[in-house]
Structure 1
Amino acid sequence: MAKILVTATPVPGHVLPLAAIAADLTRRGHEVLFYTGTRFEDRVRRTGARFVPYPAEADLDGADLSATFPERDALAPFERISFDLKHFAAAPAPLHDRRLQELLAEFPATVVISELLSLWTLATVLRAPREQRPLLMTIGIAPPPFASADTAPFGPGLLPPTTDEERAAYDAMRAQVGAMFADAQQYVEGVFTSMGVTFPGPIFDAMCTVPDLLLQLTVPAFEYPRSDAPEGFRFIGPLPAASDSEFERPGWWAELSSGRPVVVVTQGTVENGDLSQLVVPTLRALADADVTVVAATARPDGPDLVREELDGQVPDNVRLAGFVPFEELLPLADVLVTNAGYGGVQTALRHGVPLVVGGETEDKPEVAARVEWSGTGVNLRTARPEVSALRAAVDEVLDDPRYRKRAAEIQGQYAEYHPFDVIAEIVEQA
């Protein structure tokens, strides 16, 4: 059986997909070592993998970077991305690289499985030819950010060009985006130089072109066509998720099967510090609608925070929840309102649920744009939508069958992909 080293940036949306992969590989009899932050130790151990923690000096909580870097909160969205690339992804790279080499010396893995933000894994590939190192498999847990003549520059959430004028405008914009990230680019290049390797080109391109494989967790129907994709780029479909057997359904759960439309709203597991962005406005927007609204706050104190925001006046059609497994909830939903986390959107479409999306941080504008482009929902183009805009968007998705039909079509395409089998086959042949 193979030896596999898995590593992921300590953020739920990065660790959990790779934990699912680790669990499948251990079930197949492979030996897996998982290197990530200590907050995920229990989750990793449940996969059957051997857990190895980040060194204490690099063990940041990726879900609460503001606690470590309070200055980050004052930054504009693109500035925040640049900041994270420098201080969260690149700065600890030498430490992680040294630890990786130590781990590989004692655990001679034939494959390293990682994700886009673990930049330090690229050094191993840049240092040695393929026959002298493990295969690096990067899992696409976010929209692929590499540059393409067939798309807009990555970041702002712009749709692909349809005219020569748009292509020319995007070419000019690419230079502007490059200038915006010049400081981060210089910083990353300096870090890699200190590691004895040359960083090969723009950051977003290198994330995708240096790994031997970039396995994207979606299907072609949800991703822009590109005539110039990297050689190792491949769609494998979204990961299936097991139901949470420990989840206790609340007393109101039966109401979700009454025939009344069900609208689920969430801000995911990271951007849920301020539920007034999307959750609370959605509850206000639908207060008098003939729907049942489930606010999945993804935090234990979420229901209490929502009640405070609403001054205790929770609409009668609203059901508040902390953590609710989407594998249980989304099969009962008619619409998901979300700030466009990649994993949550893929989960919704895996269940054929259309969307209303709005997000401005990280990769969320790009995810929202793909929802719009694929015809699976309405893109609000803001993280703080007006109540009237939310009501109009939800009504549109509920009333227009084209959204549900398109979501069902993509759900059907998902069924044709078997990501665990693909990953296992690659591992076993490496």
Structure 2
Amino acid sequence: MTRVIITAIGSAGDVHPLLGIGAELASRGHEIVFCTHAPFAQAATHRGFTFVPIGTAAQYAQAMENPALWHPRTSFRTLWAVIAPTLRAHFDTLASLTTQDTVLVGTLWAFSARLMQELYHVPFVSVQVSPSTLLSAHAPPTHPRLTIPRRLPLAVKVALMRAIERYALDKVCGPALNALREELGLAPATRIVGKWLHSTDGVLCLFPDWFARPQPDWPAPYRMSGFPLFNDTLERAPDPQLDAFLAAGERPVVFTAGSTLIDQARYGRAVRDTLRESGLRGILLRPDATIEHRAAEDEAISLPMLIERRYVPLQTLLPRCRALVHHGGIGTAALAYAAGIPQVVTPFAHDQFDNARRVVASGCGVRLDGPVEARTLTRALRQVLGNPSIATQCGRIYDRLATSPNGCEAAARVIEGFMQSHLRQQGDVRALSTTLSLSGQSV
């Protein structure tokens, strides 16, 4: 049995896929140690994992509620200010948990796992939840401030990408990371996000090639597993009112901004105004929804036009709905693809802009930038619901995903494949070392 230590750093969109993959690895006989933020403890232990917290629940809440984390000009620096203080403690934790039969798996910001690989040669699979952080000059990711035009000559795009890495990314991450590297006896790292952070054992991409076409400058070796369609982290309590709402009339539209920090009151007003203007019914998922299951009644109609919830598993909800308006989280987009419904993407920060562009390119939705307003949202919903080509393309991708291997199973097999490759390499090195020692030479 292999001990797999999974480090998942980020929002629910980063953590949930790794929970699904961890569950699949556990079903294949591996021991799972799950390291993530304290609020996800119940979701991890519910799956039978050993849970190891990174920071406290208060620290995580404070970070997620910081407006600077969600602003394009300050998001990266603010995120790093949260991660940097945990590097040494998490590295020491990983060192104490690692055995001879340990494999590390980590999301993009698992810096400490990458350090363990570099210093102690512990096998490590780095996971790319979304393609935006594969900093390809051939296909530059979409960003609200630093997008490199794709029409430029490749040499120019390479130069611009290196400048972004050096003057924007390394400038933020370099001082704290390299201070720790010096403590550990390692030389300074450069191109931290674009190159160093990716495991030299293997990179696992949690999306299909039709969503993000592989590029020549992606880190090698990499494998693509497809979307890990996992959203049901805990058992859902019975909700007869929601079930009745879904069954009572025309299929509704689902609205969610995910874990993005936004003005929820303003967002809710825009949703209500959109429903009144369009005549559609809706389900609004928002973190501040009242605990009591109450519907917002419109005086002009007998059925409720809107029902609000804090959380409903999208994997079971979306197949009963007609469209999804969301923030651009890749896990959310993947579940909409799997349900065969069109998407209106309203990106706010981070990888959401790049994911939104890819949804549009796939032919399954439209993108709205700027504040969510009833006028533009109504127009966008009419566009996606009334466009036969979008409906056809949603159906094509639905069929494609329905006949594709389970993403969590595929990801688990990829991780096991990287494990076996690493063991073979170790065996080859030991065999070469033995041969050379017998002949009086050294490796």
TM-score band, normalised by shorter chain: 0.7 to 0.9
CA contact (8 A) 1:116 1:207 kept: no
* Cα separation, partners in 2 of 1:261 and 1:207, compared to 1, 3 Å: farther
Residue 164 of structure 1 deviates from its aligned partner by 4.2
* Cα separation, partners in 2 of 1:402 and 1:66, compared to 1, 3 Å: same
Cross-structure match for 1:340? 328
Cross-structure match for 2:379? 392
Structure 2 counterpart of 1:262, one-letter code: P
Structure 1 counterpart of 2:376, one-letter code: A
1:266 maps onto 2:256 in alignment: yes
* Cα separation, partners in 2 of 1:97 and 1:230, compared to 1, 3 Å: same
* Cα separation, partners in 2 of 1:189 and 1:330, compared to 1, 3 Å: same
Residue 356 of structure 1 deviates from its aligned partner by 0.5
CA contact (8 A) 1:356 1:377 kept: yes
Separation in structure 2 between the aligned mates of residue 94 and residue 178 of structure 1, nearest angstrom: 23
**CA distances 1:231-287 after superposition (whole Å, capped 9, x unpaired):** 12221011233756533233253443466242110011x225521454431321221
1:163 maps onto 2:161 in alignment: no
1:214 maps onto 2:208 in alignment: no
Residue 406 of structure 1 deviates from its aligned partner by 2.1
Residue 326 of structure 1 deviates from its aligned partner by 0.8
SS of residue in 2 equivalent to 1:53: strand
1:139 maps onto 2:127 in alignment: yes
Separation in structure 1 between the aligned mates of residue 342 and residue 409 of structure 2, nearest angstrom: 27
Q: 2:219 aligns with which of 220, 223, 230?
A: 230
Cross-structure match for 1:366? 354
1:119 maps onto 2:118 in alignment: no
Structure number with bigger Rg: 2
Separation in structure 1 between the aligned mates of residue 405 and residue 84 of structure 2, nearest angstrom: 33
Separation in structure 2 between the aligned mates of residue 166 and residue 156 of structure 1, nearest angstrom: 21
Separation in structure 2 between the aligned mates of residue 176 and residue 256 of structure 1, nearest angstrom: 47
CA contact (8 A) 1:147 1:205 kept: yes
Q: 1:62 aligns with which of 53, 60, 81?
A: 60
Number of residue pairs aligned between Structure 1 and Structure 2: 412
1:83 maps onto 2:78 in alignment: yes
**CA distances 1:341-368 after superposition (whole Å, capped 9, x unpaired):** 1211111112122210112222211211
Residue 395 of structure 1 deviates from its aligned partner by 0.6
* Cα separation, partners in 2 of 1:260 and 1:248, compared to 1, 3 Å: same
CA contact (8 A) 1:152 1:170 kept: no
Structure 1 counterpart of 2:38, one-letter code: T
**CA distances 1:150-185 after superposition (whole Å, capped 9, x unpaired):** 222553388885634698578547635753345304
Please give the residue correspondences for 1:374-413 in structure 2 after superposition, counting only pairs within 5 Å. Answer: 374-382=362-370, 384-413=371-400
Separation in structure 1 between the aligned mates of residue 320 and residue 147 of structure 2, nearest angstrom: 31
Separation in structure 1 between the aligned mates of residue 353 and residue 263 of structure 2, nearest angstrom: 18
Structure 1 counterpart of 2:76, one-letter code: I
Please give the TM-score of this superposition, normalised by the length of structure 2: 0.81
- Output the aligned Cα RMSD: 3.4
Please give the residue correspondences for 1:286-301 in structure 2 after superposition, counting only pairs within 5 Å. Answer: 286-301=275-290
Q: Identify unmatched segments of 5+ residues in structure 1.
A: none
Q: Tell me the percent identity.
A: 23
* Cα separation, partners in 2 of 1:42 and 1:386, compared to 1, 3 Å: closer
